[in-house]
Amino acid sequence: MAQTYDISIDQGADFIVSFDFSPRDLTGCTARFQARQDFDSKQPVLSGTSPGMLTISGPHLQFHVPASASTAIPFKGEVLDLVYDLEVVWPNSLVERIVQGAMTINREVTR
């Protein structure tokens, strides 16, 4: 079962969080994530893979949303509420959802 971890991102700023899945070793795995406005949205608002926004090192997975990626998200209002999940693909092609939750993007004023 996936861990629930809610995320708050300031638009226009780098966001980095690291997860430790010890004693599990994620070496050889790839990872992917998508964030959508709701579960039924056809297109993700934000997505990424490893290597890229996701970096795996042993039992550690780092999730990095660069400032440029959040700046590129258009929205009205002060916040954008999304849902997201993060999956690991094991070397044998087994897909496991390991993290899920709410993602809030706080609109940037300084541009």
Domains in the chain (CATH in brackets) are: 3-106 (2.60.40.10)
pLDDT for res 76? 85
Closest CA to 11 of 83, 65, 85, 84: 65
pLDDT for res 107? 95
The span from the CA of 78 to the CA of 107, in Å, is 5
pLDDT for res 18? 96
pLDDT for res 75? 83
User: What token pair was written down for 5?
Assistant: 């971890």
pLDDT along the chain (111 residues), means of 10: 95 96 94 96 95 95 95 91 97 97 94 78
